[in-house]
């Protein structure tokens, strides 16, 4: 999960890209970057850290130009190294930079093909660099000194033929403009909007519509799966379907957790989809636990608030805020290591004793992934004097790895993998555990857009929408991307840096 943004304007874009990335910060807190183009010159600033920490005034004034792209990173692969901060850049052809959200499931094969056949070198472990080089090669093989929108769309079609997995991307071609494209399944979100100025129309491409709202752009629509749009230097917009057989199947976890509630994704209001999740979760409690003794419903801030409020309303139970969140601590789910996640939970949440003491409490969260956070929060509720602690999840059990850009690589790190609901309940220390049914989750989201026939629900049901995820691939990513593997990479990087500093 990352955030991408691209803009073609009539004036400087540096401040707008910065503001847009701050709104997309929830999609990645590991690194941030902006690249702009101005009169034949590129300007780049990227580094580890939050947007507000990466960009200072001295950096902003150097990001000149009326077109640019930006990225906030969350590391599904590799490690938290500034070498993997985006955008990435290749010099040939024309000079192309790219920012990417998602994950390519055939990245290793592509890397070999790029080296042996396309004569291109990949310098990092990031599949985003692979995607950039595939796009660059597909543009280069056309062997043209000057290109137009048809050449660009043909290059995107070549990307679709070669790349497998999830990718929503923005690319900037020096002297030509900005391109946005989405994989043929539309797994990761990307939309575009327009803003009319005295000098003409300006365009913005972003992961979520909330970035458009904040910057005063009108949402035009989401990119269709397989579609590409190209905004040239003069502000003319071109679009084309570049995939042969697109099948729309967006990631349902975007609606559960990843996206902001004030975003629209594929014509579905994320906020309303979460209200419906609460309604259906309440209906399950009424159906299977009619004689419940719940005194109060308390959300785990922030994502689950909408679900919990609607659930409490439907059940006629008191809703209370029982945890106060420290907003200066990053989202624990997208932290790079388990040790850091464990440490941050008590720093992030502080309970209000009077909302727990002597009460039967139903805690509501958006999902349970590794179980670490849930276990600690349940214990916090008990420490504050709760008589009983029940736990409800707005999502079904997360039993399988996600290979499309969410950090769920190892089945052994998922608390629901190989466990029954009762065993999970015991493992997290709850008195009762209520999971949303998958059919109810799909129905709650799809109600906002009946034209959507399917979703990628692979982390819940193990059915990978691209149809090309093998057991061997799952074993390989578990070996490379587990928390243990990431910690070893971080340790090796730290040791290398220490050696470098002493030489």
Partnered with residue 384 across adjacent β-strands are none
**pLDDT score at 405:** 93
Alpha-carbon distance of 312 to 64, in angstroms, equals 50
Residues of the chain with pLDDT under 50: 78, 333-334, 493, 496-497
Annotated binding-site members for Mg(2+): 303, 365-366
**Strands lying side by side in the sheet with 41-48:** 41-48, 31-38, 67-73, 3-8, 200-206, 191-197, 218-222
Helix axes 338-348, 372-383, angle to 10 degrees: 30
The residue among 20, 13, 17 whose CA lies nearest residue 214 is 20
Beta-carbon contacts of 50 under 8 Å, excluding residues fewer than 6 positions away, are 25, 29, 32
Beta-carbon contacts of 460 under 8 Å, excluding residues fewer than 6 positions away, are 252, 395, 396, 397, 398, 399, 400, 438, 441
Instruction: Collapse the DSSP code of 357 into the 3-class scheme (helix H, G, I; strand E, B; otherwise coil) and give the result.
Output: coil
The sign of the CA dihedral 383, 388, 393, 397 is: positive
- Is position 2 annotated as part of the catalytic site? yes
H/E stretch holding 52: helix 51-54
Task: Copy the structure tokens of residue 372.
Answer: 């670490």
The residue among 20, 38, 82 whose CA lies nearest residue 209 is 20
Kind of pairing between the strands at 191-197 and 237-241: unpaired
With respect to CATH, is domain 269-326+343-451 assigned 3.40.50.2020? yes
Domain 3-247 top-level CATH class: alpha beta
* Residue spans per domain, the chain: 3-247, 269-326+343-451, 467-497
**pLDDT score at 452:** 96
**pLDDT score at 497:** 47
Annotated binding-site members: 303, 365-366
**pLDDT score at 487:** 58
C-alpha pair distances (Å), 453 with each of 104, 190, 334, 456: 23, 19, 29, 11
């Amino acid at each position: 999960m990352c955030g991408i943004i691209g803009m073609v304007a009539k004036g400087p874009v540096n401040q707008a890209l910065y503001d847009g990335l701050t709104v997309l910060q929830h999609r990645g807190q590991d690194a941030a970057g902006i690249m702009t183009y101005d009169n034949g010159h590129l300007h780049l600033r990227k580094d580890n850290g939050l947007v507000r920490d990466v960009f200072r005034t001295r950096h902003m004034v150097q990001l000149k130009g009326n077109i640019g792209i930006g990225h906030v990173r969350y590391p599904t692969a590799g490690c938290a190294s500034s070498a993997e901060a985006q955008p990435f850049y290749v010099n040939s052809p024309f000079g192309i930079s790219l920012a990417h959200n998602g994950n390519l499931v055939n990245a290793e094969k592509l890397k070999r093909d790029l080296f042996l056949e396309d004569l291109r070198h990949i310098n990092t472990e990031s599949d985003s660099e692979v995607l950039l080089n595939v796009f660059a090669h597909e543009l280069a093989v056309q062997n043209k000194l000057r290109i137009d929108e048809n050449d660009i769309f043909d290059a995107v079609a070549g990307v679709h033929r070669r790349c497998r997995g999830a990718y929503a991307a923005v690319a900037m071609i020096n002297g030509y403009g900005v391109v946005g494209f989405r994989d043929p399944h539309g797994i990761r979100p990307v939309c575009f909007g327009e803003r009319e100025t005295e000098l003409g129309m300006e365009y913005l491409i972003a992961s979520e519509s909330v970035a458009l709202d904040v910057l005063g752009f009108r949402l035009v629509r989401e990119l269709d799966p397989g579609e590409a749009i190209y905004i040239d230097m003069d502000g003319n917009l071109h679009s084309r379907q570049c995939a042969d057989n697109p099948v729309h199947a967006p990631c349902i976890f975007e609606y559960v957790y990843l996206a902001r509630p004030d975003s629209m994704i594929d014509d579905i209001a994320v906020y309303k989809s979460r209200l419906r999740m609460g309604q259906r979760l309440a209906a399950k409690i009424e159906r299977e636990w009619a004689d419940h003794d719940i005194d109060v419903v308390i959300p785990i801030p922030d994502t689950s608030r909408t679900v919990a409020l609607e659930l409490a309303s439907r059940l006629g139970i008191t809703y209370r805020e029982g945890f106060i969140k420290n907003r200066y601590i990053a989202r624990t789910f997208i932290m790079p290591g388990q040790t850091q996640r464990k440490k941050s939970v008590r720093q992030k949440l502080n309970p209000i004793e009077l909302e727990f003491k002597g009460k039967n409490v139903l805690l509501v969260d958006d999902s349970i992934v590794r179980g670490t956070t849930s276990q600690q929060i349940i214990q916090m509720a008990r420490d504050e004097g709760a008589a009983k602690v029940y736990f409800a999840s707005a999502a079904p059990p997360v039993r399988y790895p996600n290979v499309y850009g969410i950090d769920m690589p190892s089945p052994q790190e998922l608390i629901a993998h190989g466990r029954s609901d009762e065993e999970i309940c015991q493992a997290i220390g709850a008195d009762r555990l209520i999971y949303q049914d998958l059919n109810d989750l799909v129905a709650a989201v799809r109600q906002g857009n009946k034209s959507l026939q399917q979703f990628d629900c692979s982390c819940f049901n193990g059915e990978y929408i691209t149809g090309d995820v093998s057991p061997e691939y799952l074993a390989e990513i578990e070996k490379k991307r587990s928390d243990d593997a990431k910690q070893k990479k971080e340790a090796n990087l730290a040791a290398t840096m220490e050696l470098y500093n002493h030489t």
